């Protein structure tokens, strides 16, 4: 590390001559090294070795299991569609390579566009690059369909960073979650590319034919998707035919372990749980928000199940057992990595419980009762992002009134 430190010190005088170079230099220096000046160990000051960059890096590390499984699942669903390597461990190298070559360009585009905009705004303002995009840059590829055109990815990232972040002042000032803003842009601007059955599996016969040369492995025409493979997600099946339609295509074990089509990083529930525990243990993710979201989902799920059992209804989604809502979609991923965003979530202790609970309630309402969009956490979290400051305001006001009453007494 001394070598890198010496090289950075040599470059520093040249970097100081330009605003843009200074911004770039500061970004790399603070990423590699902690500041030289630290708070003294004596006195009333609190010392903490975890700065904002290290906090963001911890979140990125917590996402790596989701990313690794997402890479595998892209390839697994792809080969399944063509009737090749149906077993989880069959053709493992092919699956990982295909998945990596699908997701890597998306990750590169997200970071080039997002960090490019951040560098531009930072140099214009004359300060260092802010660290928040480290997490957003990893989350965005994980919540997108695996075959989304790269120009759509670039456009959504530019919109999210400029409109939802830089317009409010940058990291720590944004009102809404950046990654979800990018996804909601694609959802409303290009709905056919992020909804339906076809978008959740990457179909690329040319890749099979020319790169892997696998056409000789089947007696039929590999170019045609095999009979019985639709690419439908459990949520889409539940919206059309209830829980019975889901179990005709997928087992509970498949939904829990992630052997289903869907967004890149949202499928494998054990990987998400491990990442969530890592965030809780390090104190970065709020366990109150996570628990209250689960309570909100279960509460609304019980209400829907009770209604379906009492009154006749054509909406079979209402009768899906409430506890299965935890695994049939992206709830756990949204709970662990989206709702707990420390900038856009509620900050007070009571506010976190209210904020998380209402995300669970609103998300279930959107998921089950909205016929056009059988999922709800993107819209529910963005909706509650807007109300988080109001929740904190009233919680603080209530605390002030209670303390005033005690003082008067």
Written as six digits, the tokens of 91 are: 């053709």
Q: What is the DSSP string of 63-102?
A: THHHHHHHHHHHHHHHHHHTT---SSSTTHHHHHHHHHHH
% of the chain with per-residue pLDDT over 70: 79
Q: What whole-number distance in Å separates Cα of residue 134 and Cα of residue 144?
A: 17
180-190 pLDDT, tens digit per residue, is 999 999 999 99
Provide the whole-model pTM. Answer: 0.85
Categorize the per-residue pLDDT at 280 as very low, low, confident or very high, splitting at 50, 70 and 90: very high
Question: Which of 50-59, 94-103, 228-237 shows the highest mean pLDDT?
Answer: 94-103
Supply the pLDDT for residue 37.
58
State the pLDDT at residue 221.
47
Q: Position of tokens 């970071």?
A: 111
Encode pLDDT of 205-249 as tens digits: 666 666 666 554 444 444 567 666 777 889 989 988 899 999 999
pLDDT at 298: 97
Q: What's the rounded Cα separation, in Å, for the pair 259 and 46?
A: 46
210-213 — which CB contacts under 8 Å span 24+ positions? 212/94, 212/98
Q: Given this model, what pLDDT does residue 41 score?
A: 56
Q: Which pLDDT does position 81 carry in this prediction?
A: 85
Give the count of beta carbons closer than 10 Å to the beta carbon of residue 43.
8
More confident residue, 135 or 6: 135
* CB distance 171 to 165 below 8 Å: yes
Burial environment of residue 228 by CB neighbours within 10 A (0 to 12, 13 to 18, 19 or more): exposed
- 224-233, 264-273, 398-407 — most confident range: 264-273
Six token digits for residue 258: 């992630």
Higher pLDDT, 407 or 404: 404
Contacts of 156 (CB under 8 A, 6+ apart): 140, 182, 183, 185, 186, 189
d(CA 409, CA 407): 5
- Check whether 316 has a pLDDT greater than 80: yes
What pLDDT shows up at residue 180? Answer: 93
pLDDT at 343: 87
* Residue 151 pLDDT greater than 90, yes or no: yes
| Per-residue confidence (pLDDT) for residue 360, from 0 to 100 | 96
Please report, in angstroms and rounded to a whole number, the separation of the first and last CA atoms in the chain: 61
Whether 51 shows a pLDDT value over 80: the answer reads no
Cα–Cα distance, 405 to 399 (Å, whole number): 10
Q: Which of 382, 238, 390, 395 is nearest to 319 (CA)?
A: 238
Domain ranges of the chain: 271-409
Q: What is the DSSP letter of 174?
A: -
Q: What contacts 112, CB < 8 A, 6 or more positions away?
A: none
Nearest to 161 by CA among 172, 150, 149, 174: 174
For residue 255, is pLDDT > 80? yes
Q: Quick one: which H or E segment has residue 225? A: none
- Joined together, the tokens standing for residue 267 give 């499928």
Task: Say how far apart CA 301 and CA 283 lie, in whole Å.
Answer: 29
Q: What digits encode the pLDDT tens for the residues 342-357?
A: 889 999 999 999 999 9
**pLDDT-based confidence at residue 120 (cuts at 50, 70, 90):** confident
pLDDT for 22 beyond 60: no
Q: Would you list the DSSP string of 124-144?
A: HHTSPPPTTHHHHHHHHHHTS
Taking 90 as the threshold, does the pLDDT of residue 292 lie above it? Answer: yes
pLDDT for residue 150 is more than 80: yes
- Average pLDDT score over the chain: 84
Average of per-residue pLDDT across 280-292:
94
Q: Could you give the percent of the chain with pLDDT greater than 90?
A: 49
pLDDT of the residue at 220: 43
Whether 356 contacts 339, CB under 8 Å: yes
Average pLDDT on 48-73 reads 82
Residue count of the chain, please give it: 409
Spatial distance between the Cα atoms of 319 and 17, rounded to a whole number of angstroms: 66
């Amino acid at each position: 590390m001394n070598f890198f430190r010496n090289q950075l010190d040599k470059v520093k005088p040249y970097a100081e001559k330009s605003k843009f170079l200074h911004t770039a230099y500061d970004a790399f220096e603070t990423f590699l090294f902690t500041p030289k000046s630290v708070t003294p160990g004596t006195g009333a000051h609190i010392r903490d070795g975890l700065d904002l960059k290290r906090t963001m890096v911890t979140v990125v590390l917590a996402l790596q299991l989701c990313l690794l499984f997402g890479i595998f699942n892209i390839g697994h669903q792809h080969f399944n569609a063509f009737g090749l390597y149906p077993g989880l461990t069959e053709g493992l190298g092919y699956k990982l390579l295909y998945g990596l070559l699908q997701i890597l360009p998306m990750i590169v585009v997200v970071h080039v566009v997002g960090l490019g905009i951040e560098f531009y705004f930072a140099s214009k303002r004359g300060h260092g690059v802010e660290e928040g995009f480290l997490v957003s840059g990893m989350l965005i590829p994980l919540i997108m369909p695996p075959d989304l055109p790269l120009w759509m990815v670039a456009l959504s990232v530019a919109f999210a960073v400029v409109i939802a972040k830089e317009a409010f002042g940058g990291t720590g000032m944004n009102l809404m979650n950046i990654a979800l803003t990018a996804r909601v842009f694609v959802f409303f601007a290009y709905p056919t590319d992020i909804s339906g059955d076809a978008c959740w599996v990457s179909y690329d016969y040319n890749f099979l034919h020319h790169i892997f040369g696998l056409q000789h492995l089947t007696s039929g025409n590999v170019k045609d998707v095999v009979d019985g493979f639709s690419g439908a997600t459990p949520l889409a099946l539940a919206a059309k035919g209830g829980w019975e339609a889901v179990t005709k295509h997928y087992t509970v074990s498949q939904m829990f372990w992630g052997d289903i089509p869907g967004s890149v990083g949202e499928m494998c529930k054990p990987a998400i749980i491990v990442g969530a525990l890592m965030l809780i243990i390090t104190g970065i993710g709020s366990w109150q928000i996570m628990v209250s979201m689960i309570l909100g989902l279960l509460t609304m799920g019980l209400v829907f199940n009770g209604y379906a059992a009492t009154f006749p209804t054509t909406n079979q989604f209402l009768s899906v057992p409430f506890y299965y809502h935890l695994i049939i979609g992206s709830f756990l991923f949204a709970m662990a990595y989206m709702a707990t965003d420390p900038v856009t979530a509620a900050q007070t202790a009571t506010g976190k419980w209210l904020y998380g609970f209402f995300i669970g309630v609103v998300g279930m309402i959107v998921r089950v009762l909205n016929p056009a969009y059988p999922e709800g956490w993107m819209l529910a979290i963005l909706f509650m992002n807007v109300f988080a400051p109001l929740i904190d305001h009233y919680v603080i006001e209530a605390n002030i009134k209670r303390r005033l009453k005690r003082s008067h007494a």
